Amino acid sequence: MLIERPGSNEYAPFFAAYIALVPDGDVLSLLSAQVEETAALLAGLTETQARYRYAPNKWSVKDVVGHVADAERVFAYRALRFARNDRTPLAGFDENVFAAAANFDARPLAGIIEELRLVRRATMSLYRSFTPEMIARRGVSNEKELTVRALIYITAGHERHHVRMLQKKYLK
């Protein structure tokens, strides 16, 4: 099923930058492929390189990869709730609190990458189960209205954003 790009009335302006990073075409195929592209990009890093921070108080490479997995879980949970027609407003999440509590630097990079792969497999199973009616449903998260369609695109764009940051600031 081809999922159309969400309209600007389907998400908060904050998410426009992520959605803009998603090329036209089949977003589900992109999601399937991009996790392996991310894994390949990071595969040759040593543990020392994976703990690199480009500035004080910035995340390490491991933190970035762990954050992508954590955020994807949150996006998929929101999509699940909205697709199931749950109209209960959902709270936002503080990615910096998550990252600080996760202790990603103590874990092997390969394990964090494998976790991202597993999260993506679960996300893909969920997103592929949605009917067109479910994809169009709306919900409220962090006091902003979103559609399931927007969350699917946000998932893809969020990873693309962080991969670009890794390439630009970490893997020079």
The pair of three-digit structure tokens given for residue 41, joined into one six-digit string: 């990009």
Q: What pLDDT was estimated at residue 1?
A: 82
61: Cα separation from own chain's centroid: 15
pTM of the model: 0.97
Tokens read off for 124: 């893909």
pLDDT tens per residue across span 3-43: 999 999 999 999 999 999 999 999 999 999 999 999 999 99
Residue with tokens 């089949």: 26
Q: Work out the widest C-alpha separation in the chain, in whole angstroms.
A: 47
d(CA 58, CA 70): 17
Domains of the chain by start residue, with CATH: 26-170 (1.20.120.450)
CA dist., res. 149 & res. 10, Å (int): 8
pLDDT of residue 16: 98
The confidence score (pLDDT) of residue 26 equals 97
Digits of tens for pLDDT over the chain (172 positions)? Answer: 899 999 999 999 999 999 999 999 999 999 999 999 999 999 999 999 999 999 999 999 999 999 999 999 999 999 999 999 999 999 999 999 999 999 999 999 999 999 999 999 999 999 999 999 999 999 999 999 999 999 999 999 999 999 999 999 999 7
Q: Which residue has the tokens 């996790």?
A: 35
Q: Tell me, what's the pLDDT at 172? A: 79
Give the C-alpha separation, 166 to 113, whole Å.
Answer: 14
Q: Residue 155 belongs to what H/E stretch?
A: helix 148-165
